[in-house]
Amino acid sequence: MIPFRFWFIIQALLLLTVPSETASAGEEKTSNEGVVLSEVVITAEKIEEYVKNHPQDIKVVQRQEIVERNLSSMEEILKIMPGVEVYSSSGIGSRISIRGSGRSSGVLVLLNGRPLNSNQYGSQDLSSIPVDIIESVSLFKPPVPVWLGPGGSDGAINIVTRSPEKKEDKQKISSNAKIGGGSYGLAEGSLSQQLPLFDGNALVSATGKHRDGKRENSDRTDGSLAMNWNRGGSDGSSYDVNGRYYQAEFGSPGPTDNLTPEARQDYKKFSLDTKYKGALCEIGSLDATLYTDFTSLDDHAQSGVLSTVDDRKVGVKADTTWSEDGGGADLRVGVLSEWDAYDQSLAGDQHRFRNGVNSQYDRRFGDFTPTFGLRGDLTNDFGFNPGLLTGVGWAVSKMVLCKIKGGYAVNVPTFEQLYQSTHGSIDQTRGNPDLEEERVWSYDLGIEYTFAKNRLLQMTIFRSDTSDLITYQRGADLIYRPTNLDSAVRQGVEFIGKYLWDVGLGSETSLTVQDSENRDTGKKLPYTPSIKLKETLRYTLSEYKTRLEGSIRYEGSRYSQMENLLTQRLDDFVVVDTKLIQPFKLAGMSPDGYLKVDNLFDTAYENHIGYPNEGIVCSVGVQMKF
């Protein structure tokens, strides 16, 4: 076990591993835009650069689309991405499925490049990020770049916050407001303002939401406050401070065969990030972030027992980007150091140190762009864990891109998996301190054909082999407990199509066909259906500027547990969601009115065993900028 004082020494030593010199920046674009390394802007985000170089692997939703489609939460943003599904959790966090994966962990979530994943629990805590502060969301499909960080065996999501706009008129304040309501007692609202502050610019956001839910004890009330402040230097550098507070109080109804009508949770989270971006020795760029998270959970069990969890995390992440003159090569080198202290009233005090180093090199040879990356992470409880990414992209023509990639990642068990449930009621799950870390090899082979702008087809063959995969097994006491499977495999093919007609009609389709196997037993992996289909249609009535949107989602049958018993089988289902957005004039402003109806035909299905859906969900409201 590493003493606390040595963590700071190790952190300082890791920062010294950043190289002091390389080739100079610059690049001239060619017609094969998909694989050519982009021009390095000294203060540009590394992730934005990677998106330009590897378009097949990444889907980006920008601020304009978030506003135009009235996406009110991070979950809604992810749901419009091809090949992605988001399932609500009864507690903190959401389960994210990428390319049909049924795992509740393995997706790395970042905010401005720094990791948000908590050692506390495996689900992704997305509700604490207000939509008003989001500039873009990028989805990386596996295998992911090593410089994103550890724990992304099933993909990664990077959320970029908005940089407040510089105001020439110091007295001018820009505001955005939203108010709405709907079925099951839904009431929601948000307000954000941009204003000059301390020789810089600030964006302040507040949100609030309440929903009763269909089932008894499924109500939820939450709210958030956030502020992002930035200031640019005369040398092109910038400084950002991002603070967020989130609080939620909610019930945990439990599955239909183990109801907990009195179980409640109170959750609080405070985060503070400070970031510097600027030039490094005039030949590269540096992004350095110091961050901290404070979370607290009070878990009131059905029996009346109160369980408390306090988690404190502090970390630093520094990333450098260097480019060869002429744009022929791109080198990324970074370090990560993190300390996490966890105090659970039933499991006691735990802590984890994590220190990591990574490097990735992309080199262009005409139409070929090979990439190679390595990372190494050291934790006090699970030792050294390596990571790998290698592959090559080939621009066959201006319209055809091919790629092949392979990667290796290690997922260290979370504190929840090891010791005790913290994201939901203690009536339902327990921990397993004997878990081993997961070791995942992943591969994909893809081809993309672009007819024209907003018209393309993609096909990707993928496979992942996992040793010691962590899954949950339910006992006779109806309690879920994590366990390791010796070996598991998942493989399949993903199709993505996008087409935009000149008449204002757009279509986006994603289809995943896959097979999975628990090699210990020959059974299917939990929550891993053989087929997933999502079709989205969008149409704009140009005369009235009315925006219409509809989506159809199909998910094949799957099992909720590793035994694959008939009683654990979830039937296939089809769900239809619709949305209407209508701009109008009001007192010199141009607000948008919206109407959303999810599960239009009231399809009855289970999102996991014993947790039925809530039927038709309707919401209506207005958003405006003034």
Query: In the predicted model, what is the mean pLDDT of residues 606-626?
Result: 86
Phi and psi based region of residue 83 (left: phi greater than 0; alpha: psi -120 to 50; beta: remaining): left
What pLDDT shows up at residue 17? 36
> Is the pLDDT confidence value at 38 over 50?
no
Sequence-ordered list of residues with C-beta below 8 angstroms from that of 169, at least 6 positions apart, any chain: none
Asked if 355 and 62 touch (Cβ cutoff 8 Å), the reply is no
What pLDDT shows up at residue 4? 37
Distance, CA of 496 to chain centre? 20
Question: What is the Cα–Cα distance from 194 to 176, expressed in whole angstroms?
Answer: 9
What pLDDT shows up at residue 35? 34
What tokens appear for 623 in the block? 């958003």
Phi and psi based region of residue 543 (left: phi greater than 0; alpha: psi -120 to 50; beta: remaining): alpha
Domain 4-625 -> CATH class? mainly beta
Smallest Cα–Cα separation from 44: which of 290, 238, 241?
Answer: 238
Q: How far is CA 601 from CA 607, 615, 618, in A?
A: 16, 8, 12
pLDDT above 90 covers a percentage of the chain that reads: 55
Work out the widest C-alpha separation in the chain, in whole angstroms: 68
> Residue 16 — very low, low, confident or very high, per pLDDT cuts 50/70/90?
very low
What pLDDT shows up at residue 472? 86
> Residue 52 — very low, low, confident or very high, per pLDDT cuts 50/70/90?
low
**What does the radius of gyration of the chain's CA atoms come to, in whole angstroms?**
24
425-455 pLDDT, tens per residue?
A: 788 888 899 999 999 999 999 999 998 888 9
> Is the pLDDT confidence value at 41 over 70?
no
What pLDDT shows up at residue 195? 86
> Is the pLDDT confidence value at 90 over 80?
no
Strands (E), 212-261: 220-232, 238-251
Q: How far is CA 493 from CA 255, 404, 462, 506, in A?
A: 33, 14, 6, 24
140-193 pLDDT, tens per residue?
A: 999 999 999 998 999 999 999 988 766 555 545 578 899 999 999 999 999 999
* CA atoms in the 13 A half-sphere facing the CB of 331: 15
What pLDDT shows up at residue 610? 77
What tokens appear for 443 in the block? 């591969």
What pLDDT shows up at residue 531? 96
pLDDT above 70 covers a percentage of the chain that reads: 86
> Is the pLDDT confidence value at 266 over 80?
yes
Phi, psi of 418 (to 5 degrees): -80, -35
558-598 pLDDT, tens per residue?
A: 998 889 999 889 999 999 999 999 999 887 788 999 999 99
- Choose the weakest-confidence range: 16-25, 361-370, 468-477, 610-619: 16-25
206-243 pLDDT, tens per residue?
A: 999 999 988 899 999 999 999 999 998 877 889 999 99
Say what the alpha-carbon torsion angle 142, 321, 334, 117 is, to the nearest 10 degrees: -50
Residue scoring higher pLDDT (351 or 13): 351
| Average pLDDT over all residues of the chain | 85
What pLDDT shows up at residue 615? 87
> Residue 12 — very low, low, confident or very high, per pLDDT cuts 50/70/90?
very low
Burial of 321 (C-beta count, 10 Å sphere; 0-12/13-18/19+):
buried
Burial of 415 (C-beta count, 10 Å sphere; 0-12/13-18/19+):
buried
Question: What is the Cα–Cα distance from 349 to 339, expressed in whole angstroms?
Answer: 14
Amino acid in position 399 = M
Sequence-ordered list of residues with C-beta below 8 angstroms from that of 478, at least 6 positions apart, any chain: 255, 257, 258, 428
Query: In the predicted model, what is the mean pLDDT of residues 502-531?
Result: 94
DSSP SS3 for 568? helix
What is the full DSSP assignment across 478-502?
S-EEEEEEEEEEEEEEEEEEEEE-T
Query: Within 10 Å of residue 454's Cβ, how many Cβ atoms?
Result: 12
Query: Within 10 Å of residue 132's Cβ, how many Cβ atoms?
Result: 25
Smallest Cα–Cα separation from 406: which of 370, 367, 449, 447?
Answer: 370
Question: What is the Cα–Cα distance from 32 to 55, expressed in whole angstroms?
Answer: 12
Q: How many residues does the chain have?
A: 626
Asked if 528 and 514 touch (Cβ cutoff 8 Å), the reply is yes
What pLDDT shows up at residue 542? 87
> Residue 534 — very low, low, confident or very high, per pLDDT cuts 50/70/90?
very high
Query: In the predicted model, what is the mean pLDDT of residues 69-83?
Result: 90
Which residue intervals of 16-62 are DSSP H helices? 46-53
Query: In the predicted model, what is the mean pLDDT of residues 5-20?
Result: 37
What pLDDT shows up at residue 103? 78
What is the full DSSP assignment across 120-184?
S-SSB--TTS-GGGEEEEEEEPSSPPGGG-SS-TT-EEEEEEPPPPPPSSTT--EEEEEEEEETT
Residue scoring higher pLDDT (38 or 84): 84
Cβ density class 584-611: b for 16+ within 10 Å, e for less: eeeeeeebbbbbbbbbeeeeeebbbbbb
Asked if the bond preceding 142 is cis, omega within 30° of 0, the reply is no
Smallest Cα–Cα separation from 610: which of 100, 102, 215?
Answer: 215
pTM of the predicted protein model: 0.87
Asked if 118 and 297 touch (Cβ cutoff 8 Å), the reply is no
Query: In the predicted model, what is the mean pLDDT of residues 533-549?
Result: 94
Smallest Cα–Cα separation from 325: which of 3, 584, 26?
Answer: 26
> Is the pLDDT confidence value at 513 over 90?
yes
Question: What is the Cα–Cα distance from 327 to 40, expressed in whole angstroms?
Answer: 8
Question: What is the Cα–Cα distance from 94 to 423, expressed in whole angstroms?
Answer: 10
> Residue 88 — very low, low, confident or very high, per pLDDT cuts 50/70/90?
confident
Smallest Cα–Cα separation from 150: which of 381, 389, 321?
Answer: 389
Query: Within 10 Å of residue 29's Cβ, how many Cβ atoms?
Result: 12
